[in-house]
Amino acid sequence: MKLVTIIGARPQIIKAAALSRAIRNHYANQIQEVIVHTGQHYDDNMSQVFFDELQIPRPAYNLHVGSASHGVQTTRMTEGIEALLIKEQPDYIVLYGDTNSTLAGAIAAAKIHVPIVHIEAGLRSFNKSMPEEINRIVCDHCSTLLFTPTKAGLENLKREGFSIDEGGPSTLRQAQDSGTAKPTIDNPKVYHCGDIMYDNSLYFADIAEEKTDIIKRLALSDQPYILATIHRDSNTDHPERLSAIFRSIIKLSEECQVVLPLHPRTAKLLKTNLDENLQKQIFSCQNIKLIPPVSFLEMIALERHAQLIMTDSGGVQKEAYFFKKPGIILRPETEWVEIVETGNAILADSDEMRIMQAWQHFKDNPPTVFPEIFGDGHAAEFMLEKILQVKQ
């Protein structure tokens, strides 16, 4: 069986590591994987280092799309992916998450009737002003096999009209397996399988401690610190929102060190979307460590040792939970509703007061209970087994 895997943004590269590892370790004689990199993230610090570090097979193809408007970028990727699918004739195309690469892959495959496997199906922020929300909805409704990481994702798909087998076991791996008809876009199969990123976090946690010295290098070994990441255009492209977040970071730095790996977009817009005085405060503050983008293993090490994590990244929200760290979410909503419902993360948006209140809450009430809501660390194997079963 042949799978074409589409990756483009760095979170997809990381997720693909789990599936590629499972193929290599358990299904090498049954599955051939062809990796296609769209080039959506083209900076070496944001892309190439992940292939090297996570031992992911080199992409067979790179579309070198690069940065562009949503329409231009998606069009270029759709055209390139369609040509490769016609050439490779795969049994399935594998799509991750909710990026423009995901959308392009879904459109290209659906139009020429290549079955789609969507990993991270069913996630909803219920905010269609987010491009990611549109991308994930379109991909779900074009897919043949949908693998959702959470029970909330399963319920979202059910509400949207997907058929879920109510007679199945009420276990983690609840699935719609009834009937003998082959799955199609009109008759897809839906599985609740756990989170593939949890597979990776468990696998690489100890490796990260051995392979990176970032904690020592940043002199953080005996220092409590907050880890922060900011990259969404809904924050970086709006001066008032970006300013509020950085005013909060300055206040937080009065109590605790703040480590901030700067996404290229954020680094660029700091100098245009923040006033001169705020810039001076940020760059002169000794308790704020602005560092270049970090590798996946370095990020894991930073997350494991942090006191608290504040982020607008969906993936980092989860990783905070995986490593039992409280989270402040710099967005008005999240697709990972479970981590908020458990009380281990707080939605603060870009509101300075809410950010500081969230910090005070977790400082006074550090969470101690993190229910197992993301599976057992073997989601990739489960997905591949189901893909093989359906194909037979």
> Rounded mean pLDDT of the chain?
91
Question: 273 and 164 in one domain?
Answer: no
Question: 148 and 103 in one domain?
Answer: yes
Q: Please state, in angstroms and as integers, the Cα–Cα distance from residue 51 to each residue in 14, 33, 46, 246, following that order.
A: 8, 15, 10, 32
Question: 8 and 157 in one domain?
Answer: yes
Q: What domain range is 44 assigned to?
A: 2-195+375-391
For the chain, how many structural domains are there in total?
A: 2
Question: 115 and 240 in one domain?
Answer: no
In a domain, 204, yes or no: no
Question: 354 and 238 in one domain?
Answer: yes
Question: 383 and 333 in one domain?
Answer: no
Asked whether the predicted pLDDT for residue 137 surpasses 90, the reply is: yes
What radius of gyration do the chain's Cα atoms show? 21
pLDDT tier for residue 94 given thresholds of 50, 70 and 90? very high
pLDDT tier for residue 171 given thresholds of 50, 70 and 90? very low
Question: 291 and 180 in one domain?
Answer: no
In a domain, 208, yes or no: no
pLDDT of residue 176: 53
Question: Which of 32-46, 166-180, 242-256, 270-284 has the weakest average pLDDT?
Answer: 166-180
Question: 173 and 248 in one domain?
Answer: no
In a domain, 370, yes or no: no
In a domain, 156, yes or no: yes
Q: So which residues are the catalytic ones?
A: 231
pLDDT of residue 11: 84
Question: 189 and 70 in one domain?
Answer: yes
Asked whether the predicted pLDDT for residue 215 surpasses 90, the reply is: yes
DSSP structure class, residue 221: T
In a domain, 369, yes or no: no
Question: Which of 48-52, 80-84, 97-101 has the weakest average pLDDT?
Answer: 48-52
Question: 347 and 218 in one domain?
Answer: yes
Global pTM? 0.85
Question: Which of 107-111, 142-146, 243-247, 263-267 has the weakest average pLDDT?
Answer: 263-267
Asked whether the predicted pLDDT for residue 6 surpasses 70, the reply is: yes
Instruction: Give yes or no for a contact between 92 and 387, defined as CB atoms under 8 angstroms apart.
Output: yes
Amino acid 86 reads I
CATH number at residue 319: 3.40.50.2000
Asked whether the predicted pLDDT for residue 44 surpasses 80, the reply is: no
pLDDT of residue 148: 96
pLDDT tier for residue 47 given thresholds of 50, 70 and 90? low
Question: 227 and 150 in one domain?
Answer: no
Question: Which of 43-57, 111-125, 211-225, 364-378 has the weakest average pLDDT?
Answer: 43-57
Instruction: Give yes or no for a contact between 200 and 15, defined as CB atoms under 8 angstroms apart.
Output: yes
Asked whether the predicted pLDDT for residue 315 surpasses 60, the reply is: yes
* Percentage above 90 pLDDT, the chain: 81
Asked whether the predicted pLDDT for residue 363 surpasses 50, the reply is: yes
Distance CA 295, CA 261 (A): 10
In a domain, 225, yes or no: yes
In a domain, 132, yes or no: yes
pLDDT of residue 14: 86
Asked whether the predicted pLDDT for residue 173 surpasses 60, the reply is: no
pLDDT of residue 169: 33
Identify which of 296, 297, 346 has the alpha carbon closest to the alpha carbon of residue 321: 346
Identify which of 282, 230, 221, 224 has the alpha carbon closest to the alpha carbon of residue 256: 224
The Cβ of residue 310 has, within 10 Å, a number of other Cβ atoms equal to: 30
Distance CA 109, CA 222 (A): 51
In a domain, 180, yes or no: yes
The residue-averaged pLDDT of 115-131 equals 95
Question: 149 and 17 in one domain?
Answer: yes
The residue-averaged pLDDT of 249-253 equals 97
DSSP structure class, residue 126: S
